[in-house]
Each structure stands twice: as C-alpha cells, then as structure tokens.
C-alpha cells in the first residue's frame, strides 16, 4: 500500500494533507524517514511513525453507539441531525456508516462501521439476525397470548403483510402501561410499533438493546459511543459466518 494512502485510511487527513506531512520529513517507516508519498509499505509488518508516535493499522473500524432520540440513522440529512454527527471528532468519520436503521424517535444500540461485508450480512434477511428491543406500551397486556406469535407471526391488516415469528417477554404490566422485551428478525419500517398497534397497544418508548450476540453497554449514556472490543467483533463475525 502507498504510504500516503495508508495515512489517509488511518484518518490523518486528505491525500494532499498527508503528502505535506510526508514531504516535511516527519513520517518514518521502520525508523527511517520517508519523504516519498508513493513509497510502498506492508501495513501488517512495517512500523510507521509520525513525530515518534506509532500509527496503529486498522483495516476496518467498529463502534457501538447508544443512539439518542432526534437523530436520523443516515450519513447525511438536510433537515435533521444524523447519527454520524455524533462522530464528527473522529478523523475517519468519512469512512463510517451505520448498519441498519433506528427511527428518529428510537434510542439504543446502533453499530457504526467501515466494514461493508459485515454490514451487508447483519442487514440481509437471509441471516435472520435477532434484534431485541425494550418497549413500553400503553395499557395492560396480560390478556395477550404472545406464545402463538413465536410460531406464526402476526398479520398486519393495514400493510397486508404477515410478520416473521417474534418473541415477547413481559417484564411488567399494569393498567397504565406495560414493559416488554421484543425480539424480531426483520427490519421492516416501524415493525414493532405496527405489531403492538395491531394488538391495540400504542408504543410509548422504544430502545434497541441487542443485535445478535452484541448487547448494548449499560455504561454508555445516550449519545455516547465506544469502539467494539476484538472479542465483540469476532462474535459478530462468527454470528454471520464471516
């Protein structure tokens, strides 16, 4: 890989900006200063330093975001802030994109990455990736037999569509409202809201807490993010057979 391309990929600026760094003589490869931007390196074996600081090589980036309400799950929007605005301080922000989507008024787990293969597999219906949500709905749900929906899904009359089977775990229920964990394997628009509406219960609050084997870090406040650990990345890849 060209040295200038390597530095661009690691977030050190545009091609022109990193070429200026290289020509300034502050970039070293294996303890030798290199002033040629086209100099070829092996990112896996060569040691690149800028002013004495080693540049860590990452082929892809993986982040866990606790998405807040009010943000569009997109890389750009003319009218609303996007989840990528939360990553504006990251030098590699232009390489990142969200996997799947959460509605503007939904909070919770969102994976932000530069790995297109992983994104495709986690999003593709073929892999039946489980997505678990914490849901608060209006009213008492104790009279609903949710077990049948685990086998056959539910028919949404308005959409003329039958959902895939889904799981519901009732955490708490009362006359005023109920708290549920709902696990689905599809990504249809507003699918959980439509399911609960079909059961005569309006959704008041929605938060995704799990994608496949990855659970939202409870230490992340709304709007905060962190890099995934190597173990978490490996779990996701194994889940979709990468």
CA 208 – CA 181 distance, rounded (Å): 9
Query: Nearest-CA neighbor of 207 among 86, 62, 101, 106?
Result: 106
- Take residue 52 and report the two structure tokens written for it: 């004495």
CA 187 – CA 110 distance, rounded (Å): 13
In 95-240 the beta strands, taken as DSSP E runs, fall at 97-98, 107-113, 131-138, 155-156, 161-162, 167-173, 177-184, 203-211, 214-215, 225-227
CA 92 – CA 171 distance, rounded (Å): 40
Beta bridge partners of 82: 72
- Take residue 62 and report the two structure tokens written for it: 């993986």
CA 178 – CA 202 distance, rounded (Å): 10
- Take residue 218 and report the two structure tokens written for it: 């409870």
Q: Which residues are the active-site residues?
A: 103
């Amino acid at each position: 890989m060209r040295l200038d391309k390597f530095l661009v990929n690691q977030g050190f600026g545009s091609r022109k900006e990193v070429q200026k760094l290289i020509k300034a003589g502050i970039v070293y490869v294996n303890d030798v200063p290199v002033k040629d931007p086209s100099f070829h390196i092996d990112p896996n074996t060569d040691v690149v330093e800028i002013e004495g600081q080693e540049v860590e090589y990452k082929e892809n980036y993986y982040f866990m975001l606790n998405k807040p309400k009010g943000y569009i799950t997109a890389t750009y929007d003319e009218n609303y802030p996007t989840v990528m605005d939360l990553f504006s301080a990251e030098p590699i922000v232009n390489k990142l994109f969200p996997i799947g989507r959460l509605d503007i008024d939904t909070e919770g787990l969102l994976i932000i990455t530069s790995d297109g293969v992983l994104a495709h597999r986690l999003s593709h219906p073929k892999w039946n990736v489980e997505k678990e949500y914490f849901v608060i709905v209006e009213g008492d749900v104790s009279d609903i037999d949710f077990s049948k929906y685990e086998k056959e899904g539910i028919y949404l009359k308005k959409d003329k569509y039958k959902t895939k089977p889904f799981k519901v775990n009732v955490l708490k229920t009362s006359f005023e409202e109920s708290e549920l964990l709902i696990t689905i394997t599809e990504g249809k628009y507003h699918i959980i809201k439509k399911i609960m509406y079909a059961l005569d219960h309006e959704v008041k609050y929605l938060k995704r807490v799990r994608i496949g084997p990855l659970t939202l870090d409870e230490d992340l406040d709304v709007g905060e993010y962190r890099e995934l650990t190597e173990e978490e990345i490996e779990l996701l890849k194994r889940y979709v057979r990468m």
